[in-house]
Amino acid sequence: MRRRAALLAALLALPGFAQDRELPPPPGAPHEFKLPSRETVRLDNGLAITFIDYGTVPKVTLVASVRTGNIDEGRDTWLADVTVEMLKESTTTRSAADIARAAAGMGGALSIGAGGEQTTASLSVLSEHAPAAAALLADVLRNPRFPESELPRVLANFERNLAVARSDPQTLADEALAKLVFGEHPFGRVLPLEGQLAGYDIARLRGFYERNFGARRTHVYVAGRYHRAALEEALRSAFGDWRAGEAATDLPAKPSEELQLALVDSPEAPQSSVRIAVPVPDPPHPLYFQTSLMNSLLGGTFGSRITTNLREDKGYSYSPDSSIRPRRGGALWVLSAEVTAEHTAAALTEIFREIERLQREAPAISELDPVKNYRAGVFVISNSSPAGVLGQLAFMDLHGLPGDFLSHWVANIRAVTPEQVSTMAREFIRPERMSVVVAGDVAGVGGSVKALPQFAGARMP
């Protein structure tokens, strides 16, 4: 409110800004948006296949999502990543080069990677190659050879990536934050320890694969233009006799609710990487829409309060941003900002000022409605491509959301009131539950950060 008044005053002071400013033409009537149709079939071994019809160009995207990842590593950080990388290194019938050439010959590239709870293998190809793409995906997931000869090279690549990650102040900040928030849970370990990768031999990779890959944990999503009968037949034939395997691991990560502050030293860094995390409701929770909209207004959009303050008012930071990271059972509100070193404590003060202001007073309708419009507009954009719809459905499946989650999404966002937004900030963005990391030149900035009143009594591990 205060800022708007100040802005207006500044405008009126400018030459050429008479009171008779021209107003933008108002928007017309919204066009209808229909979610693409979809259908899921389940094979006898438990594997699910979702078919999504979308788009006009003759391409199809196939994504196999396996419910495994870093969550199944125990203390063996990156064991999932190394295992998954090795799947591409050859199958019982194809070399790595064969796999790359086969994918390219269909107009695509095989992409495979481990995430926290989902490992995905994806391939986007010209429509006529859809059945062959299904066979290639299945071959990589089902028949890995784990060649001993390739492991040293693959491990050397991970060691190099690790060295680069450890020299990046932003990654170090993320690592420290995960450790504060998730502690001993696998999600608390972002980077392996020195020497740890060298211990990952073929037997351990195979063991990880055998324990965690199988039809029961796998959901194949198909989106685009394709011949449905031919592709379903190809998928059934490629995956139908895969072993069922174990059910997905149930190991919810419980985030810290204690005030903690960690300083990570990056001597002479011209910027400080600031990270703040606090637990919020996860997607199945009835308050999810309210917290999600609260985040958009507070720090989740270009025009949001924290971004406007740190970037457009103060010039402390290029791209401050907050988001909700929806881990199952342990969703977090996370704020990330790279700020000029000398303004580190000042930036934190401004962030807390914006949080407290939202906790104290509900936003005006005139501020909240545009944020709702933004979310509704981005929802349409996100659901307007095969990959977008596919991603949304995978998200719903991971979190066990109801089938009508997307159909009610916009209405649920529209229903949130200004008071609820303020209440969410009060209930959940509580400084006494925050985990905070500042990675930067500790000698230069550490003292002023620790002296901030919000950190009085903070645990400093």
Partner 1 sequence: MTGRQFARWGALACAAALAACAAQPPAAAPPVPGPDEVVAATPAPPAGAIDIPIEYYRLGNGLKVVLSRDVTAPTVTVGVYYHIGFRIEPRGRTGFAHLFEHLMFQGSGNLGKMEFIRLVEGNGGVVNGSTRFDYTNYYQIVPAHVLETVLWAEADRMKALAITQANLENQQGVVKNEVRDNVLNQPYGGFPWLTMPQVANTNWFNAHNFYGDLADLDAATLADAQAFFDTYYAPNNAVLVIAGDFEPPVARAWVEKHFGSIPARPQPARPDLAEPVQQGEKRDAYVDRLAPRPALALAWQVPERGTSEHYAFSLLDTILLQGEDSRLWQRLVQERGYAGGVGGGINLLGNEFTYDGPMLWMLYLVHDPGATPEAIIADIDAEIARIQAEPPTTEELARALTKLRASLYDLAGSSTRFGLLDLLASFALFDDDPGLINRLEADFRAVTPEQISAVARVYLAPGRRTVQVVEPGRAQPAPAGGAP
Q: Is the dihedral of CA 292, 294, 298, 301 positive or negative?
A: positive
Shortest CB 144 distance to partner 1, Å: 16
Q: Which residue bears the tokens 């929806």?
A: 326
Dist CA 361 CA 363 (whole Å): 6
Residue whose CB is less far from partner 1, 193 or 411: 193
Site string for partner 1, 170-209 (x = CB under 8 A): x-x--xx--xx----------x-xx---------------
Q: Tell whether residue 22 is a contact of partner 1 (CB under 8 A).
A: yes
Query: Among residue numbers 242 through 301, which ones bind partner 1 (CB under 8 A)?
Result: 262-266, 269-271, 301
Shortest CB 223 distance to partner 1, Å: 11
Q: Tell whether residue 393 is a contact of partner 1 (CB under 8 A).
A: no
Mapped onto helix, strand or coil, the DSSP state of residue 79 is helix
CB of 202 closer than 8 Å to CB of 212: no
Residue whose CB is less far from partner 1, 12 or 41: 12
Q: Tell whether residue 107 is a contact of partner 1 (CB under 8 A).
A: yes
Binding piece for partner 1, criterion CB under 8 A, among 136-144, 203-211, 285-293, 370-378: 370-378
Shortest CB 45 distance to partner 1, Å: 30
- Given candidates 59, 67, 275, 305, which one binds partner 1 under the rule CB under 8 A? 59
Spatial strand order in the sheet of 218-224: 38-42, 48-53, 218-224, 59-66, 119-126, 111-114
Shortest CB 62 distance to partner 1, Å: 14
Binding piece for partner 1, criterion CB under 8 A, among 20-28, 197-205, 229-237, 447-455: 20-28
Site string for partner 1, 419-438 (x = CB under 8 A): --------------------
Number of neighbours of residue 402 by Cβ within 10 angstroms: 10
Residue whose CB is less far from partner 1, 339 or 393: 339
CB of 372 closer than 8 Å to CB of 410: no
Residue whose CB is less far from partner 1, 45 or 385: 385
Q: Tell whether residue 167 is a contact of partner 1 (CB under 8 A).
A: yes
- Given candidates 42, 75, 166, 285, which one binds partner 1 under the rule CB under 8 A? 166
Dist CA 317 CA 338 (whole Å): 6
Distances (CA, A) of 398 to 5, 138, 219, 393: 45, 21, 10, 9
Q: Tell whether residue 323 is a contact of partner 1 (CB under 8 A).
A: no
Q: What is the DSSP code string of 218-283?
A: EEEEEEES--HHHHHHHHHHHHTTS---PPPP--------S-EEEEEE-TT-SEEEEEEEEE---T
Number of neighbours of residue 356 by Cβ within 10 angstroms: 15
Q: Tell whether residue 381 is a contact of partner 1 (CB under 8 A).
A: yes
For partner 1 (CB under 8 A), the number of binding residues is 105
